[in-house]
Structure 1
Amino acid sequence: MKLGVIIASAGQSKRLGHNKVLMELGSKPVLLYSLEKFLAIKTLSELVIVIRAQDEMDVRDILSRAGYSHSKIKVVQGGKERQDSVHIGLKSLVDSDIVAVHDGARPFISLDLILKLIKEAEDNPAVIPALPVKETIKTVKNGYVESTPDREFLWSVQTPQVFKYEILINAYERAYKDNFYGTDDSSLVERLGYKVKVVEGEYTNMKITTKEDLLLARRYLELLGL
């Protein structure tokens, strides 16, 4: 099955002040870590990097300097929200049976996990990586606890999330028709009644959102000797 990949990198990065995927992490920009993993997959047909308009030249320069200016990679400008950006990325794919949607700010995704997700997607409409929640979660309103969900059933979701292409594009079209915005891609598929397969994720597959996350990521690279 032909694989299409969307790397969502058009976030506002309000907590860090600038686009985190362009930041240097060790010897290269954050974006290149996950990009290199996806480019190593033999079934990759096409890859779309969705970025902010003001970052396009920087991203193209990063790709050029890294030697990744080839036909499998497209760089497109995103939309107002993450969902809008992924939708633009989906419409940019032209030859994919399944599609993996990944946050560009998750640099440490492993090739092994990506391949597990792709394998599961052969027999499932949607597959996501997730980890069991380790801490107690509260629902809070106006500064007061409303309830304490049973932690046994709570999982923290990661990316890449992998889908049959036609199912995901249809889920997006339906979401816009219903004026629905989800917090991740699988929620759009769930609301159409599809079962979403969960594969255990990786604790190292962290998302860089805050300055503290960036410090942890740099420390992790040091421990790896990179």
Structure 2
Amino acid sequence: MHRNIIIVAGGKGLRMGAELPKQFLPIGQKPVLMHTIETFHRFNPEINIILVLPLSHQKYWEELCDKHHFSINHKLANGGVTRFESVKNGLELVNDEGLTGVHDGVRPFVSRETITRCFNSAEEMGAVIPVVAPVESLREVAGESSFARERQNYRMVQTPQVFHTSLLKKAYHCNFEERFTDDASVVEALGGKIHLVEGNVENIKITSPFDMMIAEALWNKSKETQSFPESR
């Protein structure tokens, strides 16, 4: 099936405390976003890559591509006010056939194994998301009270979230709701069943200076092994 990936990179990096948006910060002298795009290109050089960026960031991105001689083919879509709107804009550059994944631009360490599981499983099941189990104890907060919860009943959600393109497009015809925190929640609101596959613990979302420290360590490790970390 024809495969597409929408990479959403609309963050302003406020939690990072840096002048540059987090997707443009360097890891190993190259912007985070380029590492992310390269990961999907390595997975499948024929994959249709759609990068969603705020219009105000697109000229700077083009300058970065020139500076780093970045030549991986991709299409640009305008970012929206919300992630929902950004994905919707990206979907306009995708036809109704095949599979479409949506991935956070600041998750450069998703493994090839995770991507493969997501796309292969989505071909059969229609709607698939990668998850990892929490390792710390959980408590639910309700007002001034809190309650212990069984962590084995919960999973932490990652990307890429992959769907039959026709299903994802149909889901995004609805109006935005605050409960839409990711693409799975949009498809679920349509009545779609979401299937879970194993993610990889290195697939962190870079949102803080501490995350950048972890990202640098992962990058240095990947140089030693000549490959990006695989899931464990």
Q: TM-score, normalised by structure 1?
A: 0.89
Partners of 1:122 and 1:193 lie apart in 2 by 18
Distance in 1 between the 2:180 and 2:52 partners? 18
Alignment correspondent of 1:53: 55
Aligned to 2:33: 31
Q: Matches of 1:221 and 1:42 in 2, distance apart?
A: 21
Deviation at 1:16, TM superposition (A): 1.4
Corresponding residue number in structure 1 for 2:82: 81
SS of 1:7's equivalent in the other structure is: strand
Residue type of the partner of 2:95?
V
SS across alignment from 1:223: helix
Shift of 1:44: 3.6
Give the drift of 1:45: 4.4
Query: Unpaired segments of 5 or more residues in structure 2?
Result: 225-232
The letter for the 1-side match of 2:14 is K
After superposition, the C-alpha distances for 1:10-35 in whole angstroms (9 at most, x for unaligned) are 11221014311111101311011121
- Shift of the alpha carbon at 1:157? 0.3
The residue aligned with 1:16 is 16
TM-score by length of 2: 0.87
Contact 1:4/1:95 (8 A) holds in 2: no
The whole-number CA distance in structure 1 between the counterparts of 2:140 and 2:59 is 42
**In structure 2, what is the equivalent of residue 123 of structure 1?**
124
**Could you report, residue by residue, the CA deviation over 1:134-187 in whole angstroms, capped at 9, with x for unpaired residues?**
112222244x2343332111000000110011111111112x1x7454111101
Partner of 1:198: 196
Q: What is aligned with 1:152?
A: 152
**Aligned length in residues:** 222
Q: 1:66 to 1:3 in 2, by over 3 A?
A: farther
What is the DSSP-based 3-state SS (H/G/I as helix, E as strand, rest coil) of the residue aligned with 1:10?
coil
CA contact 1:2–1:95 (8 Å) conserved in 2: no
How many Å separate the matches in 2 of 1:131 and 1:52? 30
Within the alignment, does 1:220 sit opposite 2:218 as a pair? yes
Answer with 35-44 or 9-18: which moved more.
35-44
SS in 1 for 2:16: coil
Contact 1:4 1:44 in 2 (8 A): no
| Residue-by-residue CA offset, 1:46-78 (whole Å, 9 max, x unaligned) | 2111112221012122334444446x5111220
The one-letter code of the counterpart of 1:217 is A
Shift of 1:96: 4.7
Give the Cα separation in 2 of the matches to 1:127 and 1:82.
19
Q: Is contact 1:161-1:185 (8 Å) kept?
A: yes
> CA separation of 1:43/1:127 partners in 2, compared to 1, >3 Å: closer, same or farther?
farther
Structure 2 equivalent of residue 183 of structure 1: 181
Q: Give the equivalent residue in structure 1 for 2:229.
A: none
